[in-house]
Amino acid sequence: MSSLKAKASLDFLTWPIPEKIKKGQIIIDGLTAQAGKVTDLKVPILTLKDRQASLIFASTAAASGSHTAVADQATAEKLWNADFREDANSVSAAANGNKSLILATGYNATVTETVATVLPTTIGGFTSAIGSKTGTVALNADPQPHVATYLFALTPPEATVKQMGNTLVITVGGKTIYVTANTHHVATAEGLASEVAVSAYALALNLKGSGPFIKSIKDVKPD
């Protein structure tokens, strides 16, 4: 484990555009409120407002599916990313590890205590057995250092299970299920079939257990 000083997180740069737009407004409002404490922004707040407005306009236009509009959206997002990244670095410099100030500007703060320095290795001693109650299976594995949460999946015996990055690709009966694990509230599923519609579901998980399993508002068909 290694100690880290809090900085303005850049994780939001990987979020989908609708989430970026929401976060952008939060950051603009936060930077405006903290102008007296963060005085050396590389990109003026007025420029951030322009980038925000441009991304909103481009995103709305891209919904038409026009190739030109989609290209314009990509350009608007690139400029948005660059300027909000620059001011994230400005906030990190001004805060000098002060997590409260970072949060007040609208940015998220990186981990301030410790983070794992290595990826988990293959789980050892993994077993499954009939559970003590009807309709249950007991799952057990050796504990690993640096791991807080474990994901288990049960499939029909004829299913094939592959792994693509953080995504499990489970195929059974000619149909494929994708399970993506992530420690953040945004994620990218990998290995999906092109032009095949899928429904998306999600739940939150911590050391105490799982929250409700919910379905997204609409289905999606990846390119």
pLDDT in tens, 135-158: 999 988 888 877 778 889 999 999
> Do 153 and 103 fall into the same domain?
no
> Do 160 and 70 fall into the same domain?
no
Contacts of 217 (CB under 8 A, 6+ apart): none
What pLDDT is recorded for position 94? 95
> Do 167 and 86 fall into the same domain?
no
Q: Has residue 206 got a pLDDT over 90?
A: no
Q: Has residue 86 got a pLDDT over 90?
A: yes
Q: Has residue 3 got a pLDDT over 70?
A: no
Q: Has residue 114 got a pLDDT over 80?
A: no
What pLDDT is recorded for position 223? 86
pLDDT averaged over every residue in the chain: 89
Whether 120 maps to a domain, the answer reads: no
Contacts of 185 (CB under 8 A, 6+ apart): none
Q: Read off the tokens for 141.
A: 């594995």
Count of other CB atoms within 10 angstroms of residue 62: 20
CA distance 26 to 48: 11
Q: Which of 97, 115, 133 is the last residue of a domain?
A: 115
Torsion of CA 196, 201, 204, 205, to 10 degrees: -70
Q: Has residue 85 got a pLDDT over 90?
A: yes
Centroid of chain to Cα 145: 23
> Do 94 and 157 fall into the same domain?
no
Q: Are 25 and 52 in contact (CB under 8 A)?
A: yes
Domain with 102 in it? 2-115
> Do 67 and 13 fall into the same domain?
yes
Q: Are 52 and 80 in contact (CB under 8 A)?
A: yes
> Do 154 and 198 fall into the same domain?
yes
> Do 111 and 192 fall into the same domain?
no
Quote the pTM value.
Answer: 0.55
What pLDDT is recorded for position 92? 94
CA distance 130 to 202: 27
Whether 106 maps to a domain, the answer reads: yes
Structurally, how many domains does the chain consist of?
A: 2
> Do 107 and 159 fall into the same domain?
no
Centroid of chain to Cα 55: 20
> Do 100 and 176 fall into the same domain?
no
What pLDDT is recorded for position 1? 42
pLDDT classification of 179: cutoffs 50, 70, 90:
very high
Count of other CB atoms within 10 angstroms of residue 29: 13
What average pLDDT does the segment 88-112 reach?
90
Whether 222 maps to a domain, the answer reads: no
Q: Which of 115, 134, 169 is the last residue of a domain?
A: 115
pLDDT in tens, 43-61: 999 999 999 999 999 999 9
Q: Are 31 and 106 in contact (CB under 8 A)?
A: yes
CA distances to 11, 132, 156, 180, 202 from 186, rounded to whole Å, are 9, 36, 29, 10, 11
Q: Which of 68, 95, 115 is the last residue of a domain?
A: 115
Whether 29 maps to a domain, the answer reads: yes
What average pLDDT does the segment 162-177 reach?
92
> Do 111 and 172 fall into the same domain?
no
Q: What's the alpha-carbon Rg for the chain, to the nearest Å?
A: 22
pLDDT classification of 178: cutoffs 50, 70, 90:
very high
Whether 124 maps to a domain, the answer reads: no
Whether 23 maps to a domain, the answer reads: yes
Q: Which residues pair with 109 in a beta bridge?
A: 8
> Do 153 and 107 fall into the same domain?
no
Q: Which residue from 186, 191, 198 is spatially nearest to 16, judged by alpha carbons?
A: 186
> Do 80 and 176 fall into the same domain?
no
Whether 195 maps to a domain, the answer reads: yes
What pLDDT is recorded for position 111? 65
Whether 104 maps to a domain, the answer reads: yes
